[in-house]
Amino acid sequence: MQIDGREIAREILDGLRRRPVPRKRMVAVLIGGDEASASFLARKAAVAQSLGIAFELVSFSGRESQGDIEQSIRSFAADSSVGGIVLQLPVPKTYDRDALISSIREALDVDNLSGRVVVVPPALGAVVAVLASCGKQFSDYTAVRIVGNGYLVGAPIARFCALAGIPHEVANSKTADLHGFVRSGDLVITGVGKAGVVDPAWLADGAGVIDFGFPPDFNQEKLAASHDRLAFYTPTPFGTGPILIAKLFENFYSLNS
């Protein structure tokens, strides 16, 4: 089964439209000229407009000092008209990502980058939504395999699995046998953003596949060709992307209700 992320996102956003619109605005911080990040932020801005939420994009060239950007984030965090701050990741390697994240007041951390906010990280929320669309939940799986341990995808999902007692393993750039790692999973979740990092031929029959990569971690033609032996998979585009954005705004509503 191919998952239609647009339909899942539409249901989430329709639910938000039945709630009072938060009066506060969302501020998104973009550092550098990464095209994928700019594209994703444009989609977030479009969803904000459709919900009637004020959305402000603050762009930095990547030549500013660490201190200047941290101060800018802190000034937004102190502004009572701001209800949420998005730090678009990844940031250029010349910056201390953790220090930038620490500049966001927890009550405004709609991505829950700190891992200490009451809202569900959007990637984790997206996985739960995808599984629910298939009549499944995390506890149905005995071998969750997570490829990539990044802040937005791998880390929060692995943290949840550890807390919930879900059997899981995480692969990173040092994993020697990625083929065997993927083959052993009944639910495979990827968030590397490197084209073709995982070969669909490695997947076990009956596995579920959730690809957060942008560009996608799976070759899309090969993945589609494997559909008859998989339980489900998310395509790119129109897979996890729309759900991530919908979950981000769900968090914004929750923090400002």
Pair 112, 183 in one domain: no
Residue 224: pLDDT band by 50, 70, 90 thresholds?
very high
Tell me, yes or no, whether 55 and 156 share the same domain. Answer: no
Q: Are 226 and 138 members of one domain?
A: yes
Cα angle: 86, vertex 43, 45; to 5 degrees: 60
Range(s) of the domain holding residue 71: 19-116
Distance CA 37, CA 91 (A): 10
Residue 5 has pLDDT above 90, yes or no: yes
In this predicted structure, the answer to whether residue 173 has a pLDDT above a threshold of 90 is no
Last residue of a domain, one of 72, 101, 116: 116
Mean pLDDT of 152-156: 95
Provide the mean pLDDT of the chain: 96
**Share of residues in the chain with pLDDT > 70 (%):** 100
Among the three residues 60, 87, 116, which one is the final residue of a domain in this structure?
Answer: 116
**Residue 214 — pLDDT band, cuts 50, 70, 90?**
confident
pTM: predicted TM-score of the whole model, two decimal places: 0.95
Q: 228: exposed, middle or buried (C-beta count within 10 Å: 0-12, 13-18, 19+)? A: exposed
What digits encode the pLDDT tens for the residues 45-84? Answer: 999 999 999 999 999 999 999 999 999 999 999 999 999 9
Does residue 125 carry a pLDDT above 90?
A: yes
